[in-house]
Amino acid sequence: MRNYPKSIISLVGGVALLLCVALTQSACTKTETTDPTPFALYYTGLTDIGPSMSGTIASPTYLGSAPYDFAITGISLDGTPYTDTDIFVIDAATGSLTLNSTRATSVGLYKISISCYSDGTRYDYPDIVTINMMKPIPTGISVLPASLEADYGDVRGTSAQLPTAQVTTDGDHISIKGYRIAAAMYGGTPLDNPTRYFSITGTGLFSIVGGNTSIQPGQYIISLRLVTGAVDGDDEEGIFADAIRVNITSKPISLTYSPAEGLIEEETAASGSTTYISPTPAYVGSEEELAYAIERVEPATEKIAIDPATGILSVAANHGLTADEKYIVSVRVANKFAPDGVTFADAFTLNVVPFISPIANFSYAAKQATQAMAFTAGKAAGFVGDEVRYEFVDLPQALQGQVSLGERDGIVSAAKGNTIPTGTYDIKVRAYNTKSEATATLALTVIENPNFFTYISYGNNLGLPPAGNYASQYRTASGDELKALRLTPSTDLKPGAEVKWSVKIVYQASGTTIDAETGVITPSGFKAYNCGIVLVTATAGTGDEAVTVQTPLFFHYAQPNTDGLSVEYSPFVLQANPKNQVRSAVPVINGLDDTSNFVMDYRRNFNYFNFNGKRSDGTELESGQVTASPFLQNLWKSCGSSNYSSKLVVSYFGSDNTPKTDLVSNTLAYVDNTAGSADKFSVVVNANKWYDDGWANGCFIAQMTYVNDGNTGSKLNSGTQVFPLVIWFDTKF
């Protein structure tokens, strides 16, 4: 079957696909090509890793019903079967992969084949995960100093001079020709976007990025990826594991108990002795020499104690506390950077009650839910119990990551857009308090939603098979050819579903229309040497069970230019995961046999059109040209430019009109003009650059100019103008 690219799916007020992936992306399909049921699996990969480094490839994202029962079916190293399978471990329930390498692990390109089940059908994915195990760097390279320390407040500000470190060699036997950050670990977890926190220049100067309000106190371990060249030797890339340690120091910043109130039962002859243990508090601040203490209790009592190592509050038996009393606890937290401590006033309240009810009558009524629709299921009437907490017991695999449970109220819920397969499930929930515990079962039945569907595809006329692996895209050489197109969508809509179609003009393509009943597109708005983008929306059904799917459709207006040339990328839509470095196809320069003097680069009219990119506060990333889009402006700033008309952020050539020596650190994307390269004129999108408190999810298009005389200066700036490529960002790619 086909691997359909991600559409933007919303289900009346909710977003169906919010997917997080990291590093490089692989996508595969079921090996059979006749199965009409849409199911596709998307794994990430690891590119910047070396022997002795470990990592986890997150659970895969998918199209269709939730997968389960994952297994590794084969491993190869540089094309040869690999038998030392101990370094790769797969979680059968979630599909996440763990890599545990050692110094002896062979370097090279690993490919892992995986099988899984979905709706009772087995799917096999040959070589779906790729892991590039790189060589360690040669000996004699070091970082001075290897450890940096900076104050939390200074890092979050913009005026402080932050410490730096220099990558260096111990002699002339080897040179370093390229530097980049491979990974940054915090608390044993890789940072999603390390270049937001740290940077390294083309000369090997490592620094902490100032003004980052997302950074947290603590220890960071950074690994580097270096291009080195020995005397009389070829250049090669290698991993400098754990090259630099950065300690962001701070006094205690916050302390939070959740919940911030608790109940304890008074002691009577009837109740006997009672005790209490609070939740573990959430703490922000440096952990060196961390110590918790009670600052005061109002009214004063010595019955409440605190664990100096964890901050957990407790009351021992025989406390003699009386009902209706309330104790407000203030906690003092000290560390190496605040030895006298910081007081968090009124951090916790302990209420004494006459009686804490044990759990009784715990049950759930059976729940019926509709496929992909939100639902909630609360406890049945008659429940009794005080200070109760809830947890799942042996949650079925198909529900993992799909349903949630209120820790304090016991409500089972799922959001709109969930991918729970139709069927019946037993959801076991454990309720417990200091008096007792009980387990209840929620019988959940998910029935078919006649409106449910997952994709729209218009295919392409570029001869790119299978069409579903690519964005919907059409190239035409004239307005008449464009208007003659009648583009019919393919979907997985159920027969008889009532659907309404609409189209929104995103860029160029003015006058494009759609048949509201059939979804057939009649394109218009030919703009020579440019591209067009429209956004197609299909809504099946009405009311609460309506399902809406959106997908972009692209056009390339490939009329030969005034010089008789046309630049044609195939595909001309580069599907890019903003967390990865991605490279486009090499274009065909029609009308030119010798490209040795041909030069092309991004120059102006930088546009971003947002589809579903959101910041952490839920606000959307702003569309528009860089002069009007705060999103693009912040990307320009992250690359060291506050000049929003500057081309250098997306340019191969530097301000001196020569090729940049560092095309990674301060460049979002560029046209590769490397002489003699098989990838010449392909477009490279750099990893972890398209982020502003939220990943790019939309399209970027800008004007390129070209010359055919090798001039990379002012003549290129005013060269022949084309818009031959669209970059479509989504973290699922």
Over the stretch 649-681, which tens digit does the pLDDT of each residue have? 999 999 999 999 888 878 999 999 999 899 999
Q: What is the mean pLDDT of residues 689-713?
A: 94
H helix or E strand, kind and range, residue 633: helix 630-638
**Confidence category of residue 31, pLDDT binned at 50, 70, 90:** very low
Does the domain at 136-249 match CATH 2.60.40.2710? Answer given as yes
Higher pLDDT: 174 or 185? It is 185
Query: To which CATH superfamily is domain 8-133 assigned?
Result: BT4661 domain 1 (2.60.40.2710)
Q: Which of 662, 684, 693, 655 is nearest to 199 (CA)?
A: 662
How far apart (Å, rounded) are the C-alpha atoms in residues 704 and 486? 30
**Confidence category of residue 92, pLDDT binned at 50, 70, 90:** confident
Is residue 557's pLDDT more than 90?
Answer: yes
Q: What is the mean pLDDT of residues 178-206?
A: 85
Is residue 151's pLDDT more than 50?
Answer: yes
Is residue 27's pLDDT more than 60?
Answer: no
* Single-letter amino acid code for the residue at 105: T
CATH of segment(s) 367-447: 2.60.40.10
- pTM summary value: 0.71
Is residue 576's pLDDT more than 80?
Answer: yes
- pLDDT number for residue 172: 66
Token pair, residue 235, equals: 């250049």
Token pair, residue 336, equals: 């190496």
Is residue 17's pLDDT more than 80?
Answer: no
- pLDDT number for residue 566: 96
Residues of CATH 2.60.40.2720 domain(s) within the chain? 462-559
How far apart (Å, rounded) are the C-alpha atoms in residues 236 and 700? 32
**Confidence category of residue 4, pLDDT binned at 50, 70, 90:** very low
Token pair, residue 408, equals: 């304090």
How far apart (Å, rounded) are the C-alpha atoms in residues 504 and 499? 17
The answer to whether residues 487 and 521 touch, using CB atoms and an 8 Å cutoff, is yes
Percent of the chain at pLDDT > 70 equals 92
Residues of CATH 2.60.40.2710 domain(s) within the chain? 8-133, 136-249
Percent of the chain at pLDDT > 90 equals 65
| DSSP state letter for 543 | G
How far apart (Å, rounded) are the C-alpha atoms in residues 395 and 390? 13
**Confidence category of residue 14, pLDDT binned at 50, 70, 90:** very low
Is residue 52's pLDDT more than 90?
Answer: no
**Confidence category of residue 3, pLDDT binned at 50, 70, 90:** very low
Q: Which CATH number fits domain 462-559: 3.40.50.150, 3.90.226.10, 3.40.50.740, 2.60.40.2720?
A: 2.60.40.2720
- Which class would CATH give 566-733? mainly beta
Does the domain at 267-353 match CATH 3.40.50.2300? Answer given as no
Is residue 235's pLDDT more than 80?
Answer: no
- pLDDT number for residue 2: 38
| Contacts for 411 with CB less than 8 Å, ≥ 6 apart | 376, 377, 378, 379, 405
Residues of CATH 2.60.40.10 domain(s) within the chain? 367-447
Buried b / exposed e over 437-462, threshold 16 CB at 10 Å, is ebebebebebeebbbbbbbbbbbbeb
Residues of CATH 2.60.40.60 domain(s) within the chain? 267-353
- pLDDT number for residue 11: 38
Q: Is 398 helix (H, G, I), strand (E, B) or coil?
A: helix
* Single-letter amino acid code for the residue at 400: Q
How far apart (Å, rounded) are the C-alpha atoms in residues 215 and 162? 14
- pLDDT number for residue 21: 29
- pLDDT number for residue 115: 94
Torsion angles phi and psi, residue 277, rounded to 5: -135, 130
Token pair, residue 733, equals: 């790619």
Q: What value does the mean pLDDT of the chain take?
A: 88
Q: Which of 574, 679, 687 is nearest to 225 (CA)?
A: 687
Higher pLDDT: 13 or 413? It is 413
Q: What is the mean pLDDT of residues 282-291?
A: 96
Higher pLDDT: 120 or 470? It is 470
The answer to whether residues 476 and 526 touch, using CB atoms and an 8 Å cutoff, is yes
How far apart (Å, rounded) are the C-alpha atoms in residues 477 and 603? 24
